[in-house]
């Protein structure tokens, strides 16, 4: 696994490439660090997985002002161009699923297939600013933890990610990423997508409930839904092997009307991070 800094549009981004094979771009959820995908990437070693800390997350530079989702999508496109990758399969989870939709809509020729996990067409309000303020400002005493409610609550999900070292501990990160989604929706544009799309949802996801997956399926022309039984919002982490199997099966399907999965041509150097 190679992790380096790239400068994209005056922002330094922490980018990671792992494995060999056809390129698969992984886009993280709200506040998600690169290591969130570690288990999934281990299961997908036959793919060249590309992921990053989004602007303001982890080791990537915090932008001076919040960026809207379209600018994030254009940033991803420029990153791939710098890496010498012309086309990718894209996997986006939660907040990253919204970004994956925006990226595919703005740069359709760069996306072969699309996988949307635990996400919706918006308007997406996964976490309120008050939830972030409460989580990072409150006492971590045993008494306060008992008051946080069930393990499926937003507070419990944030705590799980932070304790596992998978989520940022900087409140500003969340405020900026939430600002990117204000007023955003893809609902009236998804009919434009021509890519085959797999939609993954957990039947116990209380943050992005299953009906969102079915809305996506009805709106995207070539979409299919798979429900992960017994899984909540973090199934990419809690069921990495199962998720990887679904990703591999979907991406390896052959269709006569579709080009083969993109590969780095022989003799062409593997993407490098300088």
Residue 66 burial by Cβ neighbours in a 10 Å radius (0-12, 13-18, 19+): middle
Check if 150 is active-site: no
Q: Report CA Rg, the chain.
A: 18
Q: How many CB atoms lie within 10 A of CB 107?
A: 18
What does the block give as tokens for 15? 């980018």
CB contact at 8 A, 117 and 205: no
Q: What token pair was written down for 55? A: 């602007």
Catalytic residue chosen out of the listed positions 94, 168, 186, 239: 94
DSSP 224: E
Q: Distance (Å, rounded) from C-alpha 38 to C-alpha 198?
A: 21
- What's the Cα-to-Cα distance from 46 to each of 86, 194, 245, rounded to whole Å? 19, 26, 12
List the catalytic residues: 94
């Amino acid at each position: 696994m190679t992790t380096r800094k790239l400068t994209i549009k005056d922002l330094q981004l922490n980018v990671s490439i792992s494995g060999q094979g056809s390129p698969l771009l992984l886009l993280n959820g709200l506040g998600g660090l690169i290591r969130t995908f570690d288990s999934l990437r281990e299961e997908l070693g036959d793919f060249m997985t590309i992921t990053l800390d989004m602007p303001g997350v982890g080791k990537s530079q915090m932008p001076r002002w919040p960026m809207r989702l379209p600018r994030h999508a254009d940033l991803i496109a420029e990153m791939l161009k710098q890496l010498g990758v012309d086309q990718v399969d894209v996997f986006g989870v939660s907040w990253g699923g919204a970004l994956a939709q925006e990226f595919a809509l703005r740069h359709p020729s760069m996306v072969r297939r699309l996988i949307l996990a635990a996400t919706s067409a918006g308007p997406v309000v996964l976490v309120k600013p008050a939830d972030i303020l409460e989580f990072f400002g409150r006492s971590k005493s045993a008494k306060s933890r008992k008051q946080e409610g069930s393990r499926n609550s937003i507070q419990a999900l944030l705590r799980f990610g932070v304790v596992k070292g998978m989520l940022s501990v900087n409140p500003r990160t969340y405020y900026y990423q939430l600002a990117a989604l204000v007023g955003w929706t893809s609902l009236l544009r998804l009919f434009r997508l021509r890519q085959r799309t797999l939609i993954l949802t957990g039947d116990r996801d209380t943050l992005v409930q299953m009906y969102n997956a079915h809305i996506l399926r009805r709106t995207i022309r070539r979409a299919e839904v798979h429900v992960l039984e017994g899984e909540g919002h973090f199934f990419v982490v809690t069921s990495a092997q199962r998720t990887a199997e679904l990703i591999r099966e979907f991406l390896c399907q052959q269709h006569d009307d579709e080009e083969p999965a993109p590969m780095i041509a022989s003799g062409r150097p593997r993407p490098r991070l300088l």
